[in-house]
Structure 1
Amino acid sequence: MGEGSTDVAWTRRSALGLIPALALAGCAGPGGTEAPLSMWAMSYEGDYSPLLMPAFTAATGVPVEVQSLPTTASHEKLLTAFAGGAMPDVLMLFNGWVQEFATIGAIAPLPSPDLVADMFPGVLAATRFAGRDYAVPWSVAPQVQFYRRDILGEAGYDSSPEDWDGWRAMARAIKRRRPDDYVFLMLLNWPNGLITMLLQAGATMLRDRNTRGAFQTPEARAAFAYYVSLYTDGYAPMALSTEVQDPVAAFATGYCAVWPSGPTTLKDFARRADLLPRTRWATARLPGPHGAGPVSGLSASLCVSTQTKRPREAWALVRHLTSIESELRYQRLIGNLPARVGAWTAPQLAAPVLRPFADQMRQPAAAPPVIEWEQIQTEVQFAAERIVRGVQTMDEALAALDRRVDGLLAKRRALVEAGRIA
């Protein structure tokens, strides 16, 4: 069946059980037409979500208006909307935001556990708070390493190593042959690479019940030292994303041979196959100190606002968007991966280039469960940049990082000490 047939299969099979519960007649707009549900989403998810709505509307009679938010402003916009009583019915949240929005009472717990049946356990864990599920995983984006097969082959490698020592040995071999280029496309304001190294090195990053920074431990120092060495040894450019504005072109021209990135890069490569033929690149899991391990990534889930006046219809929309049929179509549209285990039996996910992603789905990284994590992650990256650029020593930067993190966690620390939160 084609894409349209797949969507119809969902509507006939699944939506019939939803319609009696929706009480549609009570939500009619002017002239008897159904008032639309509202949904806010960011990035590719926001741009392409409207393509998934016709099947839902055809089955339920409920139209949906999707607002695509700019990622950089979405967190503040959602908080402002909650404070002003203007939240959408359904909203996308990056998984790192779920606990924060559950804590302030902005999102509702799931009405039924079957909404998250068949999910990868590690992915689902990031959407739980205080023992309850508050979001349905939707768009999963673990990172792997994309590598240039031809450049690695010239240096004697069939694939990119999955351990730190092997990565450095490969980098030396490539640099000898290509002294004017770099090996790793890792920019100084991209945080996922360093966060992954910290997690794989066993750094907890926080201590005392997640109320203070823990960035001066041997594990954290090892991760920072390895990360910094990739820049100071000339294997990665000391540059920001504003200085390398077209990473696909940088990878295609051989400016860098290895690019840690997520699944949307697959779509970028497909769109620019004239610049980067498919035969020139492959994928592997990201390296850890002793082999591949947990990896940081930017994944998203769907939630229902506590301010919605139509919770049954809102949850029906979430069920539709996170169904296997919808997730597979979304994967074809934007590249991000399904969170449901059952989706991975589909032929479209059987390509060898997706195997490292499938392995990584079973071993995601768990960020510290604090609502201040987004701010802490930014401070971690600033500290690393100061070390790389020689502005501070490792000791100075990590001590200052702990102090800044302690300041960010001051309110949480007071609440924990007062027994108001666990």
Structure 2
Amino acid sequence: MGHGPGRPGRRSARRRASALLLVLLLAAGCDAGGDGPGGTDAPGGRSGAAGAPDAPGEIVLASGRDVTGKGGIRQQLIDEWNRQELSKGSGNRARLVELPGSADQQRSQLLGALQSGSAEYDVVNLDVTWVPEFAAAGLVQQLPAPLVDSDVIPSVAATARWRDQLYAVPFNSDVGLLFYRSDYLKAAGVAEPDLGKGAAWPTVQKLIGALDAAGKKLPDSYEKGWTAQLDASYEGLTVNGIEAFASAADKELALTDADGRYTGSVDDLKAGLDELRNRTQASYTLPDAVTSDEADTLTDFAGGRTGFLRHWPYAYRTLHQSLSEEKLGVAPLPGKAVLGGQNLALARGSQHTAAARRLIEFLTGKESERCLLDAGFAATRLSAYEDDALVCKAAKPSGRATATAPAASERTDRMPRDPRGRPAYARGTLLPALQNAVQRPRTPLYGAFSQTFTAQLARLQGDKPPSDAQLAKDLHAQLKKALP
């Protein structure tokens, strides 16, 4: 899930003032944070006859914005690959092209460029929900299965496949998490909130009740219990909706089959709507949540307006730039959390397939994944979390892991770390959350699904929302049309 486009004039003067706080947070926290080739004879390839060697040249990787900032970890890893290629005298050099705009705008740019051949992209960094669409359209090449080995977290590895074929390699993952104000809870008499594995939404409701009962013990800035990305104009409401639907399901929720066709039922949808309505009750949800994206909710939470926040892993680093370890806590999202993230795929028209494959293998290898984890991303490999001998040598001191954590004088961030330099929450919270996460529907028509899904869910935010039973029937009928 990417950042949504700006929406001037939709929030109050207080919101505009709090936006200044986010600018300061991102300046501090983000300048340090919602697929290998199939061979030269892959469909649409321009590399010449099968087995013909690549001509040395520039390898272009197209991607969305790096939440670790300009010159961030992705660029650092590419710089390291370039150094290695230079030392080998290969004649190859990689260049990162960051696409502007929201995630939807980036998807449109990539689709247009690959369909028309107007951009010489060799590697494309795809949102996990885009893989079926790009694979089914023949815009990316099928890859050999060994590129995704058993070290890749199984739930994450599944995002790289379409119809049991590999089309991408997981680069960095993402998963919904629950951030909370530890200092607010302590002021309310809750020293150790019970938010471990297996916690359900009523646990959060009970804790919010304790905050509300604390009254003047909390700062004047506190308004409501929690906030999330509920804006229907982008992917935020889809993600929060799927998390509610999956949490309410008696079994694993599957709204599509292996071919991307709709398989949901009215009963499943009704249960999900009931859960979503419960999670977004006006009595404890910040009113601005219905027009909020990732940046908005970060601003509101960091500004003290809420005690709880649903967000992505990069918020751990960003929020710690203004909130100390004693004030900020993080836990798995109660119920089911949705997987996000990006996967690297080899563009159909690449003229440098062998070198592009080596670049993908390097960027998704064990050491690179450890570097991504140290920098604030959710790594895709188990070894990044579990192998204490694995260290990152390609990053700046603020993200580099050594035998012990980097000295405070070397760091440019305030993110808490374990003795091996990983983010302190990586093993105990982030990894289990990734392992237990669920995917959004897998279909080449995901854009149509998301648009239909959010359009119907947005009716819950109206002055006269329909009943769950009626909305479930309407949503069922519309999804059957969107995903024939």
TM > 0.5 fold call = yes
Alignment partners' CA distance in 2, 1:198 and 1:206: 14
- Alignment of 1:36 onto 2:58: yes
Match of 2:285 among 221, 224, 236: 236
* Superposed CA offset, 1:247-269 (max 9, x none): 33422332111111111102212
Alignment partners' CA distance in 1, 2:380 and 2:257: 30
Aligned to 1:326: 368
Structure 1: 5+ residue stretches without partners: 1-22, 29-34, 289-293, 411-422
Q: 1:175 to 1:384 in 2, by over 3 A?
A: farther
Alignment partners' CA distance in 2, 1:264 and 1:24: 42
Residue 152 of structure 1: how far off its partner (Å): 1.8
Match of 2:275 among 201, 219, 226: 226
Q: Please say which of residues 381-390 and 301-310 is displaced more in the overlay.
A: 381-390
Conserved? CA contact 1:188–1:381, under 8 Å: no
5 Å-filtered alignment, 1:224-373, equals: 224-239=273-288, 240-241=290-291, 246-270=296-320, 272-273=321-322, 276-288=323-335, 294-333=336-375, 335-344=376-385, 345-346=387-388, 347-349=420-422, 351-352=424-425, 355-373=428-446
Match of 2:55 among 18, 27, 35: 27
Counterpart AA for 1:143: G
Alignment partners' CA distance in 2, 1:114 and 1:207: 25
Conserved? CA contact 2:256–2:442, under 8 Å: no
- Alignment of 1:64 onto 2:64: no
Match of 2:477 among 378, 391, 403: 403
Q: 1:92 to 1:151 in 2, by over 3 A?
A: same
Instruction: Tell me the TM-score normalised to structure 2 length.
Output: 0.70
Q: 1:264 to 1:213 in 2, by over 3 A?
A: same
Aligned to 1:195: 242
Instruction: Tell me the TM-score normalised to structure 1 length.
Output: 0.80
Conserved? CA contact 1:211–1:409, under 8 Å: yes
Q: 1:26 to 1:298 in 2, by over 3 A?
A: closer
- The two structures, once aligned, show a CA RMSD in angstroms of 2.8
Match of 1:159 among 182, 193, 206: 193
Q: 1:372 to 1:178 in 2, by over 3 A?
A: farther
Aligned to 1:124: 157
Q: 1:252 to 1:54 in 2, by over 3 A?
A: closer
Counterpart AA for 2:179: F
Residue 173 of structure 1: how far off its partner (Å): 2.4
Residue 339 of structure 1: how far off its partner (Å): 0.7
Residue 187 of structure 1: how far off its partner (Å): 3.5
* Superposed CA offset, 1:217-275 (max 9, x none): 1x4323322322343342112334459954334223321111111111022123x32xx
- Alignment of 1:74 onto 2:106: yes
Residue 357 of structure 1: how far off its partner (Å): 0.8
Alignment partners' CA distance in 2, 1:231 and 1:81: 39
Q: 1:244 to 1:354 in 2, by over 3 A?
A: same
Residue 142 of structure 1: how far off its partner (Å): 1.1
Alignment partners' CA distance in 2, 1:38 and 1:209: 31
Partner of 2:98, secondary structure, is strand
Aligned to 2:77: 52
Q: 1:381 to 1:405 in 2, by over 3 A?
A: same
Counterpart AA for 1:280: K
Q: 1:81 to 1:286 in 2, by over 3 A?
A: same
Q: Please say which of residues 344-353 and 189-198 is displaced more in the overlay.
A: 344-353
Alignment partners' CA distance in 2, 1:166 and 1:25: 59
Aligned length: 372
Partner of 2:178, secondary structure, is strand
Residue 368 of structure 1: how far off its partner (Å): 2.3
Partner of 1:278, secondary structure, is coil
Alignment partners' CA distance in 2, 1:331 and 1:220: 36
Residue 185 of structure 1: how far off its partner (Å): 1.2
Residue 277 of structure 1: how far off its partner (Å): 2.1
Conserved? CA contact 2:201–2:279, under 8 Å: no
Q: 1:302 to 1:25 in 2, by over 3 A?
A: closer
Structure 2: 5+ residue stretches without partners: 1-50, 87-91, 217-221, 389-419
Conserved? CA contact 1:140–1:299, under 8 Å: yes
Counterpart AA for 1:336: F
Counterpart AA for 2:469: D
Conserved? CA contact 1:228–1:388, under 8 Å: no
Residue 208 of structure 1: how far off its partner (Å): 11
Alignment partners' CA distance in 1, 2:133 and 2:377: 24
